[in-house]
Amino acid sequence: MNPSIASDDLGSLLKWYIDQGLDETIGEEAVDRFTPPSYPVASASTPSLPRAQIPPPPRVPSSAAPAIRSPVPIESPQLVEDAREQARRCSSIAELEAAVRAFEGCALKRTAKTTVFADGVAGAPVMIVGEAPGADEDRLGKPFVGVSGQLMDRMFDAVGMSRGRDLYITNILFWRPPGNRTPTLAEQAICMAFTRRHIDLARPKALLLAGGTAAKSVLDTTEGIMRLRGKWTSFTLDDGTVIPTLPTFHPAYLLRTPASKRQSWSDLLALDKKLRDLSLR
């Protein structure tokens, strides 16, 4: 420290430094951060170790190395093939239901209370395929028995149809997803192996797909329900028989958006007309 600087002046200087934010001493000389760094260049006279003399990195014993495992999915493509093979061997709806109840390849079965297979009359002219069981369906073991199912019953009753005479009802999934979440593609693929066989064995005269998930899975399309709804398409059975198919809104959607009931009512009238054209009404 320069002895010619008075202590009072030194204190004032230090205070000024602190006021300016300079509260740490780094070095005697300022560092120019804008100058590119220079690296030493090895000269020809600089000795270098031959490659053979460079020591290899230490090897970690295999017992001490952590085991790295690739994630194994719960549902694999093989499970889809297993479901298809089991469904293909079923020659009746009763055999198919037994196969579904015995199937352990879908993880949803481990969280659901019951297996929800179908309701109504097997072989009825209209087969309704929805998305998945809800809480009421999981508790009672039948599809479309909750609030949305009651709405659906009233709508069909208005056109003179009932599940006890004209309807056969199922879902693409037989087990309730936790929290009513949207089923994964793997879950849909596994269950659709049984659902396609279900439609083939039921052989309805018309197929009604309730909701976007059911419509996209059965028709194997990426189109949303807003584009598919109200437009007749077809589903082809294994023997080549073509079933008239109509996507429509899910009753649960109608409970959330009552203004869409008019469109669903139009779909039911179109379904009734199709059955009359087929001389089934």
Higher-confidence residue of 29 and 105: namely 105
DSSP letters, 81-115, are HHHHHHHHT--SHHHHHHHHHH----GGGGT-SS-
Q: What is the pLDDT of residues 127-168, one digit of tens each?
A: 999 999 999 999 999 999 999 999 999 999 999 999 999 999
In a domain, 211, yes or no: yes
Total domains in the chain come to 1
Q: Which domain holds residue 199?
A: 77-277
In a domain, 128, yes or no: yes
CATH code assigned at 249: 3.40.470.10
In a domain, 200, yes or no: yes
The whole-model pTM stands at 0.72
In a domain, 10, yes or no: no
pLDDT at 233 over 80: yes
In a domain, 179, yes or no: yes
In a domain, 273, yes or no: yes
In a domain, 207, yes or no: yes
Q: What is the pLDDT of residues 115-126, one digit of tens each?
A: 999 999 999 999
Coil/strand/helix, residue 49: coil
In a domain, 48, yes or no: no
Cα angle at 92 between 89 and 97, to 5 degrees? Answer: 85
